[in-house]
Structure 1
């Protein structure tokens, strides 16, 4: 009884908290490395390569143990599109962290469900049942989340926590822009990142419907991301000296990023099968508090009122939207309340946001 309780409750809870901590630490290490002069493009290319090397044996073992269907060309096209969206989105995201902070990145990441909902409505993947409480919750959650993002980007406010130990700052890298200007640019880049990843999740839902093997799909996506990001980053970062790694914080950040991505993938895949997507989603806003604490302690970041207020608003909107998803599940995924399907089918009533697994694979 106790063993079963630990496996079904204690272990998933611990794993999800650990995943959020590792994801935030990636951003913290990246920020620290850029303050030491590491290029965002170098980090992006190398981290994809490390993740590919780590997942290669897992994909090989998994493919040997299970009889997998052959990969069709139409599926490979979609996986390649995943690579394009993921690599460009990650470049925008890390660039946004350079301009702003890991705390802002964690807060803005909770916009993804709102963007998925908007895209679903635009492309008529979602049939709006305005009288349904679940649809109203998703609409309200989207509006509240976007409002919180605008507060974070446009309103800085007074400092709540400030440290005098900060020796490096954004002005070292962006001397021509004020902190407010850098914050706005960083926020916009992070918003673009989450919009691209919302598209990524929609395509991923379609891929998983065709080829339901998470490990193989993730490995092929990361492999495509490596192939795509390498030439893009080489074009963007022409200084060959920047590509030479030394035993410093940059190397630590790159290697840790690869391991963290692989760990998060495995943990989320296991958690999805054991507890479902809504359970994993509720841990996402936890990353905001973790990022704020780590940023203040390790980077000497200042904490502003606007960031705190905006993060709270986004988190409220996120949970309202998640409640709408949970309500869909309780109503047995009826057509009136669901997000529709990527391809019209009388047998597919699963909500799009649920199939997109909004919490899966923190890129």
Structure 2
């Protein structure tokens, strides 16, 4: 029983990130379906965040009473930036970029996120890098390869892969095939900028959790700020278009509720917990799983056309990603080995000191006996 409990404790971060990737894959499909039906991406983001706030806030009020710390101006500024970086700026850019491309492409482009997160963690000294060590060299090389894969996906289309279940005459398939190259680049740039904002969000969340270790309360505050920011963006972008705010009991409502509960409220909370155990780079390391899920589901459900260039770029991104992971694991083992050596040296030094004290005590005892004999 103790072994099983220990296993659950070790596996909890992995279960957490797997849940996040499953949730992200489902959100990409549902969101693309809603956007294809004409829903405004700006209104979608606002509705998503207000639902997340309403769901998380009661739990934060009940369970975080004893762990909330005092608010400071610096902490409020960090929370406001968290509420704007990922929930407002990143999501609006991400869904706009998805409109110009496809769900598979948008999720695949997000695989550059671990590379950006690694570079920012390195700059903020949350990730240790020693260029002379093989692990750190692998992390740097993996980052370069990952960005190269994203460039391949953006600029190289390649031949179209006619899979048996895709229908060339399907509306979404034909629109994906006929999207001009300029729109592809525009969408790619939006998604890439969004990934930079999300990376900054993850790093800032890791820093903020050290000052405000109440995950539920922090999640609720982030969602509240994002609701206000998202509302302002939607009002500006959809001014004079009241029909954009209409929400019916159909797939659009399902996508909004799913995204708000699973992909904002629950994901931010799980992300914070895993980050405190494994760090920010680990949280972003499993993004390729989401891409694989989305590629399969969107090919079947949305009949999206697969291009050879995107597949090559995706494989390149995954290769670079796992170079980063291998390097991170290598560095962790190296740090552990160095710590064990230091502890061993300290133990030896302590033992030598104790032996020296014993010898000195023995010498003092002998000297005392000799002095007594001479006195007698």
* TM-score (normalizing by structure 1): 0.81
Distance of 2:11 and 2:122 partners within structure 1 = 37
Distance of 2:137 and 2:16 partners within structure 1 = 32
Distance of 2:129 and 2:26 partners within structure 1 = 38
* Contact 1:145–1:318 under 8 Å retained in 2: yes
Change (3 A) 1:244 1:160: same
Q: Deviations over 1:256-284 (max 9, x none)?
A: 11121233334445555677767655532
Distance of 1:275 and 1:114 partners within structure 2 = 16
Aligned length: 332
Identify which range, 12-21 or 48-57, moves more after superposition.
12-21
The answer to whether structure 1 residue 41 and structure 2 residue 42 are counterparts is yes
1:94-243 map, 5 Å: 94-119=95-120, 129-162=130-163, 163-164=166-167, 167-169=170-172, 178-238=179-239, 239-243=241-245
* TM-score (normalizing by structure 2): 0.79
* Contact 1:92–1:193 under 8 Å retained in 2: yes
Change (3 A) 1:209 1:6: closer
Two-structure CA RMSD over aligned residues (Å): 3.0
Change (3 A) 1:57 1:23: same
Q: What does residue 254 of structure 1 align with?
A: 256
Change (3 A) 1:179 1:170: farther
User: Which runs of no fewer than 5 residues in structure 1 stay unpaired?
Assistant: 336-363
Q: More helix per residue: 1 or 2?
A: 2
Q: What does residue 76 of structure 1 align with?
A: 76
Q: What does residue 314 of structure 1 align with?
A: 317
Q: Deviations over 1:18-55 (max 9, x none)?
A: 43222111111111111111111110111011111111
* Contact 2:154–2:185 under 8 Å retained in 1: yes
- Cα distance, 1:212 vs structure 2: 2.0
Distance of 1:280 and 1:178 partners within structure 2 = 33
Q: Secondary structure at the match of 2:38?
A: coil
- Cα distance, 1:318 vs structure 2: 1.1
Kindly name which structure, 1 or 2, has the bigger radius of gyration based on alpha carbons. 2
* Contact 2:82–2:201 under 8 Å retained in 1: yes
- Cα distance, 1:182 vs structure 2: 2.5
Distance of 1:14 and 1:221 partners within structure 2 = 24
Q: Secondary structure at the match of 1:330?
A: helix
* Contact 1:99–1:170 under 8 Å retained in 2: no
Q: Secondary structure at the match of 1:205?
A: helix
Distance of 2:304 and 2:157 partners within structure 1 = 14
* Contact 2:42–2:234 under 8 Å retained in 1: yes
- Cα distance, 1:221 vs structure 2: 1.2
